[in-house]
Amino acid sequence: MFAPLLAIAALALQTTSAPADTTGKEDRLLRLISAQSAQLIEKDGINYRKVTGPAQFLHNNTYIICDTAIWSVEKNIIDAVGNVQIIQEQTALYSDKIHYIADSSLAQVRGNLVQLVDKEKNRLRTLYLDYHTKDSVARFFSGGSMIDEKGNTIESSEGVYESKLKRFRFLNNVEMKVDSAIIKSDSLAYLTQAKRTIFLGETHAWQDSLYLRANSGWYQKDSEQYLFSDSVFVLTNKQEVWADTLFYDKKKGEAELFSNIQIVDTTQKALFFGDYGKYTKDPFNVILAKNPSAGYYTADSTARDTLFIAADTLRYYTRKVFELDSSYVSLSKTRLKQSKVDPLEALIKNVTQKNMLAAKGTAQSGKTPVTGKPPVRKPQATSAPAPVKDTLKPAMIPDDPKKAMAGDSTTVIKDTTAVRFALAYKKVRIFRSDMQAIADSLVFNSIDSIARMYRDPVMWNEGSQFTADSIQFVMSKNRLVKAELISSAYYISKQDSLYFNQIKSADMIGFFSGNKLNRFDALGGVSLLFFLAEDSIITSVNQKECKFLSAAIDSGKLQRVKYYDNIKSDMYPVVKLETGKDKLKGFIWRDSARPSSRFDVCPRIIKSSERDTVQFIKQPLFPNTKRFFGEKGEKKKQTGKTDLPSKSLPVNPKSGKPAKGELLKAPLPDIKR
């Protein structure tokens, strides 16, 4: 009686070795490759095959391996339990049980733990996963986590793995840990072969004290490069950064920013703007280009004001003292020492000594000279120290440490003090509420704390204009304390629509207090032209000459003026002023070039700080990673039933090698009823 049944069972099982179907039915053929035994059972009028093993099935070039399987030949469905594996090419799935619907090429993988391992040995774990063998696509839901060989993790509520594309997609509540950074995102894609992570949607990242937010971007694992775009925001302990796009190369320690850049540095009390920026960590170097500008602000209990500066290019960098040319360091130190000296005091002392010597010589002769000069005596005091002439051009400023050190090979003890440099190239514009300036270029270093403007510089203070061959701003604690006009200095103040008060001298110095110009000194060969008014009408002109002068300034106007040494004065009615004599030689009124507001220098809208809001953003907690890999995650390869057994694949009897998806004629198992 068993013969007919055995014949029918044998015929059903032999379909596993049928030739390829060219009629389109091949995809639904489910083959049993090997097993220990197969038993025919019946339930609810339906015949099943109970296959015990280890058993191996093949469908869509995919192997299904298990301890036991209930196979419905009519419905083309397998329910496999115990050490279940699904192997397709170099992708493997492990679980306790699966429900495989061959007609739909769908494996519903469930169990106490479901694990997917790809070619690159990334391990995805979940409890619920559907795998489509025809498309080689897996979908997990209700939570999942993936760990690579280095322990980097990505988890999400649901996701997709596309084997043919070598791509994972993590969707909803995505959390990622890579190196020392933790990231959360709306969704992301991980390209396993290219080792690239693509962030899709709003993304937040934390690394040590740094926070970053963007709406898209990518991370290249092997080169350790990041790119974030679409409303990028970065927060550190000292800075806030906004930009449309940020690129960061971790290995090189370099970052590039693109479009709508704003940087707020609380340490320097500064703001930086531009549409292109490049940052290098070591040595520190920052370049801002494409409409760059900066703002330096002061904030205390009495005043708050911001100085804005713009140019074609702004650059900030540091060098250690031993990397700089020794002559440059020496000159900077000399300027620092000289900036603390008041030249007027030395000049007054010199004139006083000269007058005393002249009086002493007259008394010894017993006569009062009518003509001629007093007896010549060499004065004990020297002339007043003039501002140090800057013989270094902008191009000579140290930049390359190797070049700077090349000429100094005798240094034994290296001074590692960091020197800060700030450079502005081409079309420099400066604006503060009470002071404006323009020049071709500007240079600053922290040795002397002096900002030097080159090539046709002009400075305005309220109603006054100052020009010279070069202008130096002496800074102290981020405040302007002195402006030195070096060589061919010229002061102009507009008296009315027709006349200008003017002073010319070799050098000039303006002193500032509370960001206000309150004193002005002209030193060496001074010429003056002042227009005087009566009842608001200009009536007379005063021409003066002297060696030097000092004037008190209020609201940009000269108030009290003291003249010293060889004073000459001439006053006459303005109606007798000859044509062309109302201006001193070299007069140029450049009010049209004067920045009228900070928007002429920096048209950017300053963003509000987001520092306080960031603290309320919740950082990733990695609940799925803890759930599937333990509290600390797993960094080493796991052993046990979820590993791919070395002899899991069926072996080709002819070659002795794993089948790798071939359709084999395997020996039939015994059939029991």
pLDDT tens-digit series, residues 178-217: 888 999 999 999 999 999 999 999 999 999 889 999 999 9
At residue 137, the pLDDT reads 95
Residue tagged 């391990």 (tokens): 123
- H or E element at residue 550: strand 537-554
Which stretches within 160-242 are classed as H helix?
A: none
Q: Amino acid letter at 659?
A: A
- pLDDT exceeds 70 at position 9: no
- pLDDT exceeds 90 at position 274: yes
pLDDT tens-digit series, residues 127-164: 999 999 999 999 999 999 999 988 999 999 999 999 99
Which stretches within 313-386 are classed as H helix?
A: 326-339, 343-365
At residue 653, the pLDDT reads 41
* Whole-angstrom distance, CA of residue 410 vs CA of residue 285: 28
At residue 373, the pLDDT reads 37
Compute the radius of gyration of the chain from its Cα atoms.
42
The phi, psi pair for 185, rounded to 5°, reads -150, 160
Q: What is the pTM of this model?
A: 0.77
pLDDT tens-digit series, residues 244-253: 999 999 888 8
Q: Considering only residues 398 and 431, tell me which one the structure prediction assigns the higher pLDDT.
A: 431
Residue 452 tokens, joined: 């030097």
Q: Amino acid letter at 342?
A: D
* Whole-angstrom distance, CA of residue 390 vs CA of residue 222: 49
Residue 98 tokens, joined: 């699966």
At residue 479, the pLDDT reads 76
- pLDDT exceeds 90 at position 577: no
At residue 156, the pLDDT reads 96
At residue 44, the pLDDT reads 82
- pLDDT exceeds 70 at position 366: no
Alpha-carbon distance values, 484 to 19, 343, 388, 503, 564 (Å): 97, 11, 10, 15, 20
Query: Which three-class secondary structure string do you get for 126-183?
Result: EEEEEEECCCCEEEEEEEEEEECCCCCEEEECEEEEECCCCEEEEEEEEEEEECCEEE
- Stretch 281-297: mean pLDDT, rounded? 90
Spatial neighbors of 530 by CB under 8 A, at least 6 apart, are 501, 541, 542, 544
Residue 298 confidence class, pLDDT cut points 50, 70, 90: confident
Count of CB atoms within 10 A of residue 223's CB? 13
Residue 643 confidence class, pLDDT cut points 50, 70, 90: very low
pLDDT tens-digit series, residues 276-285: 999 988 888 8
* DSSP bridge partners of 464: 461, 493
Residue 670 confidence class, pLDDT cut points 50, 70, 90: very low
What are the DSSP calls for 308-319, one per residue? EEE-SEEEEEEE
User: What's the mean pLDDT when you consider all of the chain?
Assistant: 82
At residue 293, the pLDDT reads 95
